[in-house]
Amino acid sequence: MDVTTWYLEQTSRSDLLPAKPPSVEVDIVRAELPSPEFSRFLTTAVGGDWHWTNKLPWTWDEWADWLAGGVETWVAYHRGTPAGFVELVPQEDAAVEINSFGLLAWAIGKGVGGHLLEFGAARAWDLADRQPEREPTRRVWLHTCSLDSPVALANYRARGFRVYDTKVNVPGDEHEGETPGPWPGAGPRTRGFTAASGTPPKRP
């Protein structure tokens, strides 16, 4: 199966376009203490359905080294429950990559994605305010592919990101086989919390 990867960027803070408010109350908080356990949880909880497998073999030390490089993790919560996250990675030449961005399954379709992406991109643009050893951001970029959420590319474009490159079958990408889900053996998730009521699914 051919997989298309799109690379998108903003080159000015003014490129960022606002999103509509979400339909549920959302608080976005930075995870200020680097935690390999928490970062791996977010990666599997959000990316388990979208082939986010490249970090799954990492050891605890590899996760810790990754987070120690200035990575910022911002987490959206609804009533104390994680709804999604955005991970910012500072790079050379005053660039910041939105390395990971997405929602847990229950939060999709409630306007959280656009709101979280706007917030995360804004934090990429002002990252040097929190990391003064770095140059002010001059470019924010990310990539997505045709195996990601079908609304991902449109969401990025709606926030002002522009496609600057497109590739097919990027070498090294792991896209074969079934997606692992949030944990091995989780199986299909046909029931979930109702965000408006906070009611858990009934047991069979």
Q: Give per-residue pLDDT as tens, 132-187.
A: 999 999 999 999 988 888 889 999 999 999 999 999 986 554 545 567 677 777 76
Report d(CA 68, CA 94) in Å as an integer. Answer: 18
Report d(CA 64, CA 59) in Å as an integer. Answer: 9
pLDDT of residue 196: 46
Range with the poorest average pLDDT among 20-24, 143-147, 198-202? 198-202
Q: Which of 115, 11, 21, 123 is nearest to 72 (CA)?
A: 123
Residue 7: strand, helix, or coil: strand
pLDDT of residue 189: 59
Cα 47 to Cα 85, 142, 166, 168: the distances in Å are 11, 15, 22, 21
pLDDT of residue 188: 60
Report d(CA 34, CA 191) in Å as an integer. Answer: 32
pLDDT of residue 200: 42
Q: How confident is the model at residue 197 (pLDDT cuts 50, 70, 90)?
A: very low
| Domains with residue ranges and CATH for the chain | 4-168 (3.40.630.30)
pLDDT at 204 over 80: no
pLDDT tens track for 63-96: 999 999 999 999 999 999 999 999 999 999 999 9
Report d(CA 105, CA 54) in Å as an integer. Answer: 20
Look at the alpha carbons of 160, 81, 89, 174 in this order and tell me if their dihedral is positive or negative: negative
pTM: 0.87
pLDDT tens track for 30-56: 999 999 999 999 998 988 777 777 888
pLDDT at 100 over 80: yes
